[in-house]
Structure 1
Amino acid sequence: MDLADLIDPNRVVFGARANNKEQLLRDLAARAASQLNLDAQTISSAVLAREELGSTGLGEGFALPHARIPGLDHFFGMFARLNKPIHFDSIDGKPVDLVFLLLIPATAGGEHLAALAAVSRNLRDRDFAAKLRKAASAAALCSLICDPQHSR
């Protein structure tokens, strides 16, 4: 599974703003809900419940919040680059500025592990993350995230 399989241009947020992790996750859940025609509270509750099990801040300024969502029939990814990094309880203690929200169908089997691995492999790559941080526009950011030639 490639990163580009999980996302499209309408799901890239350039210059997101949030004061804290909960605010960011609720905002991303609301954005996802509007695109999926699902209840925002259902999505945010699932994502926040998963976060309570342990932070999805994977280090080096990257977080991969994810959750299984009832009623979702396909994997759904949304990427956000924050204007200002926020505290995320990351494993390395560093603030987060790159966030990939991954919503997983409640009925998904082991394929969710391939999706998580695809996102993690790309965004934990320091060169790729540096390019994402340097992108000067939403279009440039989208080109990096959505193009299968850029993701691996």
Structure 2
Amino acid sequence: MRLCDFLDFDSVRVSVPSGNKRQLLQTLGQIAGQRLGFEPSAIVDSIVERERLGSTGFGGGVAIPHGKVEGLQTIYATMVRLAEPIDYKAIDGAKVDLVFLLLSPPDAGAHHLKALAAVSRVVRSADTVDKLRGARSRDALIAVLMAAEERDAA
């Protein structure tokens, strides 16, 4: 599975106001809810439920909040770069500024894991993460993501 199969390019955001983790999750719920036609609270509830199991702070300033949403038909993802890093309770203790939201249908088990793996493949490269931080526009962020995915596919 490739990132371009499920990333909603139109919802990628740069310089999202950060606040705190709770506010970030609310913002992600708003973005995804608007794009998917879902109540933002259903999305937020799903990712908060997953966060209760342990932080989705991936490390290196990256978080991948994810959840399963009743009624969702396909895997959906978006990416935001925060205006300022926040304390996300990441596994390495680092503040987070790059966030990938991943939502899946409740029965998407293996596909959900493959989507998570696709995101993690892209962000495990320090070079890619640095380029994401340096991108100044949505289009630049998307170009970095697609270039990283192409390198991984080669």
TM bucket (normalised to shorter chain) is over 0.9
CA distance in 2, matches of 1:50, 1:8: 21
Percent of pairs with identical residues: 43
Q: SS at 1:94's partner residue?
A: coil
CA distance in 2, matches of 1:116, 1:137: 24
Query: In the alignment, which residue of structure 1 is the partner of 2:15?
Result: 15
Contact 1:33-1:40 at 8 Å conserved across structures: yes
Q: SS at 1:23's partner residue?
A: helix
The residue type equivalent to 2:16 in the other structure is A
Contact 1:62-1:124 at 8 Å conserved across structures: no
Structure 1, unpaired ranges of 5+ = none
Query: In the alignment, which residue of structure 2 is the partner of 1:43?
Result: 43
**Aligned-residue CA RMSD in angstroms?**
1.1
CA distance in 1, matches of 2:44, 2:136: 29
Query: In the alignment, which residue of structure 2 is the partner of 1:140?
Result: 140
Contact 1:6-1:75 at 8 Å conserved across structures: yes
Query: In the alignment, which residue of structure 1 is the partner of 2:148?
Result: 150
Q: RCO higher in 1 or 2 (8 Å CA, sep ≥ 6)? A: 1
Q: Which runs of 4+ in 1 moved over 6 A?
A: none
Query: In the alignment, which residue of structure 2 is the partner of 1:99?
Result: 99
Higher helix proportion: 2
The residue type equivalent to 1:150 in the other structure is A
CA distance in 2, matches of 1:84, 1:44: 21
Say which is worse superposed, 90-99 or 9-18, in terms of deviation: 9-18
Structure 2, unpaired ranges of 5+ = none
TM-score normalised over the length of structure 2 = 0.93
TM-score normalised over the length of structure 1 = 0.94
